[in-house]
Amino acid sequence: MRSTNLRFTPKSDAPVFSVLRDRDFRAIWYVGTLRELSRRMELLVLSWLILQATQSPLQLALVLVFNNLPRPVLSLFTGLIADRFDRWKILMASQVMNTLVAFIILALIFTDSIQAWHVFAAVFVQGATKSLEDPSRRTGILDIVGERRLVNALSLDTISNTSGKMIGPLLGGLMIDTSGPLIAYYFSGITVETGGFVGACGLIVLVHLLDLAVMTRVRIPRKLRSSTVVPVWRSLGEGVRYALATPLLWGMLYVTIIMNALAFPLQQFIPDIGANNLQVGATLVGLLVAGEGIGQMIGAGAMALTRNLERHGLVFLLGSTAVLLMAILFVWTPWYMVAFGVLIIGGIGQSGFGTMQSTITMLAAPPDMRGRMVGLMSVCIGIGTPLGGLAIGILAELFGTPWAITANALIGLALLLPSLAFTPLAWGHTRQVAAAHTT
């Protein structure tokens, strides 16, 4: 009797496993996870610090404003830098700066010298380094995996980002609530409340140091760059003109501005809603923020397992709509578990938005402009988020946070309609539309 050997072949692998077998991708994936973990911990801890010190929605909004203020100007140049210079060195330099700033904040809290402007300066620097690293990391992922595996790689990148978004705030909240007595016991002169922030910021510094260590293992292939040196402003102008001449790209950028101005600032006000509407402490507020990350993880995991997904724009718009609707439900529910579930659903929508945003940016642009397109996307984020965050903060100070967020979400839903009528986002296949534009 002839024996039959059963074995799995590469064809039977889900696309995600093919990407994960790539050592270079795994390294940059780990870096992205650690970086987002530390960033989300920092934002939760510093936002909670400001809220407890001032009890002001406007001051809380300023954390978001200063964090995104560098983007509109820097992102145009950082996209160009990503196209022209060594992407590994860019990522390493930004992480060194992040580590130094985290250590300074820890020292200021430990010595009871921290002031609001220190927090605003720290998140400003964090925003600047994120603007610097985003184009380099995302185009670096493309350099490693190639176009064929890009959707799956970016889905995994979304998973790494959402892992940080999910775990970081929860860890930050836990450290604030639990490490205070221990720190106060070992360091005389430090109160239990201050000790909680010292413990949380100490953990943030450790995560930054681990990120630096993992960065030494990252290898990004050197791709052939154009030998023609184009003046900076001309190069930037070419990128803007290309985006404006490509309906798929300008439609994506338009929706990006809407979402970052009218939807995503909600995340900054979760501590306010948690503390004042739901009456919970730092740990449960951290869990609320993690709820969005859980939803993003579910959505990204589903997309990472898909094959030949082509309707990127449709998923992008459906995700945007879900985020806006869930924002309205979240701010009015009086029940913690319902609020948590609503944020999970909103996180699934964010996953569709974020993954498809990056995919459209990469696939609709030629290789020598991809860094600039990611830079333009960051500019749109940087334009929308500070203005939207400031507007919500002012409205929240006047009318209350729930009314401010509801008004912004309703306006956002109305402004999504032109993208259905005037761009191919909802009905086009990304590769086909991009190919038709270039021919």
Question: 15-220+231-438, which class in CATH?
Answer: mainly alpha
Q: What average pLDDT does the segment 102-123 reach?
A: 93
Who wins on pLDDT, 362 or 284? 284
Q: What average pLDDT does the segment 318-341 reach?
A: 95
Residue-averaged pLDDT of the chain: 84
Q: What average pLDDT does the segment 157-185 reach?
A: 83
Whether the predicted pLDDT of 198 surpasses 50: yes
Whether the predicted pLDDT of 164 surpasses 60: yes
CA 151 to each of CA 23, 138, 313, 361: distance values in angstroms, whole numbers, following the listed order = 18, 12, 13, 11
Closest CA to 197 of 167, 169, 219, 176: 176
**pLDDT over 90, % of the chain:** 42
- Return d(Cα 338, Cα 336) in angstroms, integer: 6
Contacts of 424 by beta carbon, 8 Å cutoff, 6+ apart: 247, 248, 251, 313, 433
pLDDT band at 8 (very low <50, low <70, confident <90, very high): very low
Closest CA to 316 of 284, 352, 286, 351: 352
Work out the number of other CB atoms within 10 angstroms of the CB of residue 368. 17
- Return d(Cα 99, Cα 125) in angstroms, integer: 11
Domain ranges of the chain: 15-220+231-438
Whether the predicted pLDDT of 374 surpasses 60: yes
Who wins on pLDDT, 145 or 290? 290
Highest mean pLDDT among 152-156, 265-269, 428-432, 435-439: 265-269
CA 23 to each of CA 18, 147, 333: distance values in angstroms, whole numbers, following the listed order = 11, 17, 45
Closest CA to 104 of 152, 46, 157: 46
Q: What pLDDT is recorded for position 299?
A: 87
Round to the nearest angstrom and report the end-to-end CA distance of the chain.
59
Closest CA to 401 of 410, 393, 409: 393
Whether the predicted pLDDT of 6 surpasses 60: no
Whether the predicted pLDDT of 394 surpasses 90: yes
Give the pLDDT confidence of 211-268 residue by residue, as tens digits.
999 998 888 887 655 545 556 567 667 778 888 888 888 899 999 999 999 999 999 9
Q: What is the dihedral of CA 58, 61, 66, 67, to 10 degrees?
A: 170
- Return d(Cα 355, Cα 24) in angstroms, integer: 20
Give the pLDDT confidence of 263-316 residue by residue, as tens digits.
999 999 999 999 999 999 999 999 999 998 899 888 877 877 776 677 788 889
Contacts of 230 by beta carbon, 8 Å cutoff, 6+ apart: 238
Whether the predicted pLDDT of 389 surpasses 50: yes
Give the pLDDT confidence of 25-60 residue by residue, as tens digits.
888 889 989 999 999 999 999 999 999 888 899 999
